[in-house]
Amino acid sequence: MIKISKFLFLALFVFAACTSDNGGEEPISGSENSFDRKAMLANWADNIIVPSFENFASSTQDLQEKTNSFTINPSEENLVQLRSAYKKAYLDFQTVSMFEIGKAEELNYRNFLNTYPSDVSTMVNEIESGSYNLSLPSTYNEQGFPALDFLINGLADSDQEIVSKYSSEEYKSYLLDVSKRINSLTIEVNASWQGTFRDNFVNNTSSSSTGSVDKFTNDYVLYFEKFLRSGKIGFPAGVFTGEPSPGNVEALYSQDLSRELYIKSVKSVQDFFNGKYYGSNQTGLSYKQYLDYLDSMKDGQILSTLINNQFGTILSQATGLDQSLKSQVQTNNTEMLQAFDELQKEVILLKVDMMQALSISVDYVDSDGD
Amino acid sequence: MKRLALIAFTVGLTLSSCSSDDAQLPIENTVEVPQNYTFERGNATTVNYEGQTTRLQMSAEILSSFTDFENATAESLSNMFSNENAPFSSAALNESSKSVKSKVAASTLYFSTNTVESTEIKADFEAFIEEQMTVVKTNKDLLAEPGVAGQIAAGTGERYVNGKGLELNQAFAKGLIGGLVLDQIINNYLTQAVLDEGDNRINNADEIVEDGANFTTMEHKWDEAYGYLYGDPSIPSANPNSVLGQSQDKLLFDYLGEVDADPDFAGIAASTFDAFKKGRAAIVADNYEIRDEQVAIIRENLSKIIAVRAVNYMQGGKTELAEEKYGSAFHELSEGFGFIYSLRFTNNPATNMPYINKAQVDEFKAQLLAGNGFWDVTPETLDSISEEIASAFGFTVAQAAE
């Protein structure tokens, strides 16, 4: 405390000493306050977050219904229907996973919906014993989309064999419970946005660490760094250990889905950056506009352009990957490492350059020390 | 409170342009450098680098097992490298979540957006292990000859080499000096990206210590750099140079002692220690300008250790080859090979890049290992490599050779 006041005093002293020279010039840090943060929060909530959750909630509802039909009548035809609902919902999940704030944060929503890889042996034991409690945090890796993936794609080699597993009541109820839980958690999060949380979020315009902009920006960048970069690419590629682990990919048992999920997630993050409305090409206020308003530059170039260019690089690199990232790891992991390196460049642009430009403190640290 | 400090800081920065008017402002944040590397808060030490000591101990056990053909296998060494399947003799090491491999070529500065090369480098170390425990082990009771692995007489004993005359244990050990120790110190912990990450400056100024610890994050990052150089258990933390040249360390500190013993480079150990001490004191005083000046000194000094040893061994090998003492020559060239491998991890503070880049290192390696490798290498090649390294660092081959 003593140190701060010394610092403040010194700063004020310096300030006072030069006011006469500087005339009416505003200090740079003042201009950010006149950007309409409330309008940006409203755009985020009304045009992106709320419609994304509404859409996702309809997908999880459909997923539950298709699961229900399949358990009532386990047929190969119904299995195909269920898979299609699963795929749609898993892709739509990529549009909301970054919004882990408010009710979602309170519920540990993302952990319950998408912790992978699943603990398959424990899951099978629990299914067969009929004894499980999916509300426990210790069961993150026994539910959500990864569990569903195993249950409808990984349980056996052929569709016929998978369907035959569902002659058992235990498998039927577990599958249904997993789908229901995805849906019920989503209903809860969606309802909170439809209710009072939207206004709390939009009105909390403070530029402190508890203000919506600061808090959400940390969540957004953390999502990109930990869940997108590390989760989808880094862990399977063995970036942190030097040992590739193909078993760590998202949607392990769906042969053709992991790259698509990855691309959907990158696009969703980019769209959010640009303030693009959900399901429309219209844009409103978001990070791009905020950075441009502040004339944020890096090495003589416009920062928001650098960030968008890097998203472009990531996406074009991604199109060269195998549609199964598991196969990509197994056949040519170097391309996975290249994907990681491009993602990391974006992490630096977002976490260091953008957050500094917006005067937002990083509230989490990538503490990889000893 | 944080916000207040930040505003003050920003205002200070914003108005720095008018400093010419304020030349007589009092200089803040006087740095008081202690006699030893001893820093306390509330009468308790703030210095901690046990994670580094752990990795140095793991490295030591890998190195001592590298020629233990009776007991070690490619699998057991690889397990030690990754710390998998309880590979070490000490339970404490086995229970640790850390591994050597995860920190090889893993610095923020050089590898955070370059995992492609990082992975290649890790694979090189795995390949040293693999070849040692397959090809060399199989031939351990044969005499080595050009193109054939085996043992070779050196002085009063024998050395084990691959078909090119390279001792893989030396390549591994000396490569680790750059790939683990130097890279972590100068390209990771001492970078602004790590020291100043997140709110580290604000927390350091406010003396907000880490949970359950007595140090600020920035203090700790600095100590972790210190620990890679001085963290062997045989080295006293407060006054490491008291055992210079006499510790059990087999990595960078050992060679700091060797280079310091050369009159042409005498004083480099004291200068390095002083910079560590002063930089740490500067962190306590929130004086980041002085801190970063010390970083530059440490980067230059420690990079130079690698270069001097690389040249020294190239020249030593050349002399032994001329006398047809192949075993001794190959030993020196093998150590030199490892130090050359390590050059890629050096950092020139003037450019913030390696003194010798990856392409040059690859070229040196190719020259040394062409054909039958050390069996074929010419004095001209050894001289040209030596010259190129010495000139990049601004010393002469003669200074390093003696």
Please check whether residue B37 lies inside any domain of the structure: no
pLDDT at site A20: 36
Q: Do B206 and A365 touch (CB under 8 A)?
A: no
The sign of the CA dihedral B393, B395, B401, B402 is negative
Q: What is the pLDDT of residue B168?
A: 98
Look at residue A366 and tell me if it is in a domain.
Answer: no
Give residue-wise pLDDT tens across range B212-235: 999 999 999 999 999 999 999 999
What Cα–Cα distance (Å) separates residue B4 from each residue in A5, B202, B207, B215, B216? 9, 10, 15, 22, 19
Which pTM value belongs to this model?
Answer: 0.84
Structure confidence at residue A30 (pLDDT): 42
Of the residues B79, B83, B113, B288, the best mutation for testing chain A's interface (the one with the most A CB atoms within 10 Å of its CB) is: B113
**A-B contacts at Cβ under 8 angstroms:** 134
* Neighboring chain A residues of B9 at a CB cutoff of 8 Å: 7, 11
CA distance A219 to A212: 10
Containing structural domain, residue B229: 134-402
Contacts with A363 from chain B: Cβ below 8 Å:
198
Whether A165 and A301 map to the same domain: the answer is no
Choice among A36-40, B10-14, B92-96, B156-160 with the minimum mean pLDDT: B10-14
Q: How far apart are CA B252 and CA B69, in angstroms?
A: 26
Identify whether residues A87 and A214 lie together within a single domain.
no
> Exposed, middle or buried: residue B307 (CB in 10 Å: 0-12, 13-18, 19+)?
buried
Residues A290 and A269 placed together within one structural domain of the fold: yes
Q: Is residue A24 part of a domain?
A: no
- CA angle, A241 then A245 then A246, to 5°: 155
Same domain, yes or no: A312 and A196: no
- A22 with B199: Cβ contact below 8 A: no
Residue B80 inside a domain? The answer is: no
- Look at residue B148 and give its three-state secondary structure: strand
Cα-Cα-Cα-Cα dihedral of A336, A341, A343, A347, to 10°? 150
CATH number at residue A124: 1.20.1420.20
pLDDT computed for residue A44 by the predictor: 98
Residue contact A341–B5, C-beta within 8 A:
no
My answer on whether A303 and A342 are in the same domain is yes
**Residue B86, in any domain of the structure:** no
Model pLDDT, residue A293 = 97
Domain assignment of residue B145, yes or no: yes
Spans of chain A, pLDDT less than 50: 1-32
CB A318 within 8 A of CB A270: no
Alpha-carbon torsion, ordered B133, B137, B143, B148, to 10 deg: -50
Same domain, A51 and A183: yes
Scanning every residue of chain B, which has its alpha carbon at the shortest distance from the alpha carbon of A332?
Answer: B116
Answer yes or no: is pLDDT of B7 > 50. Answer: no
What residues in B contact A208, CB-CB < 8 Å?
A: 3
**Is A365 an 8 Å CB contact of chain B?**
yes
- As a whole number, the mean pLDDT across chain B is 93
Check residue A240 and give its pLDDT.
85
Tell me: do A211 and A352 sit in the same domain: yes
Residue A40 lies in a domain: yes
Say yes or no for a CB contact (<8 Å) between B116 and A337.
yes
Predicted ipTM of the assembly: 0.77
Residue A370 in domain: no
Give the amino acid at A158. S
The domain boundary, picked from A205, A226, A243, lies at: A205
3-state helix, strand, coil in chain B (%, to 5): 60, 5, 35
Mutate to test the interface with A, among B99, B116, B195, B223 (most CBs of A within 10 A): B116
Q: How far is B295 from chain A (nearest CA, A)?
A: 19
Look at chain B and report how many structural domains it folds into: 1
- In this complex, do A369 and B221 lie within 8 Å of one another by their Cβ atoms? yes
Whether A137 is covered by a domain: the verdict is yes
Q: Are A341 and B114 an interchain contact pair (Cβ–Cβ within 8 Å)?
A: yes
Q: What is the pLDDT of residue A367?
A: 57
Q: How many domains would you assign to chain A?
A: 2
Look at residue A2 and tell me if it is in a domain. Answer: no
Residues A238 and A315 in one domain: yes
Position B38 in a domain? no
The C-alpha of A149 sits at a distance from chain B's nearest C-alpha, in angstroms, of 30
- Give, rounded to a whole angstrom, the gap between the first and last alpha carbons of chain B: 58
Residues A182, A210 within the same domain: no
* Any domain includes A15: no
Residue B3 has pLDDT above 60, yes or no: no
Check whether residue A153 and residue A237 sit in a common domain: no
Q: Is any Cβ of chain B less than 8 angstroms from the Cβ of A6?
A: yes
Nearby residues of B373 by Cβ (< 8 Å), 6 or more positions away: B163, B164, B165, B166
| Domain-embedded: residue A314 | yes
Last residue of a domain, one of A205, A225, A246: A205
CA distance A217 to chain B (A): 14
Torsion of CA A271, A274, A279, A284, to 10 degrees: 160
Residues A195 and A210 in one domain: no
Nearest to B125 by CA among B104, B140, B109, B139: B104
Bridge partners for A283 per DSSP: A276
Helices vs strands, H then E, count in chain B: 19, 4
Instruction: Answer yes or no: do A123 and A218 share one domain.
Output: no
- From B124, B128, B63, select the one nearest B344 (Cα to Cα): B124
Q: Which residue, A180, A205, A230, sits at the end of a domain? A: A205
Reported in sequence order, the residue ranges of chain A that DSSP labels E, i.e. its strands, are 297-298, 301-302
Domain holding A273, by residue range, is: 206-361
- Whether residues B198 and A338 touch (CB distance < 8 A) is answered with no
Q: Which of A30-34, B84-88, B313-317 shows the lowest per-residue confidence on average (mean pLDDT)?
A: A30-34
The reported pLDDT for the residue numbered B340 is: 98
Choose the weakest-confidence range: B23-37, B196-210, B213-227, B323-337.
Answer: B23-37
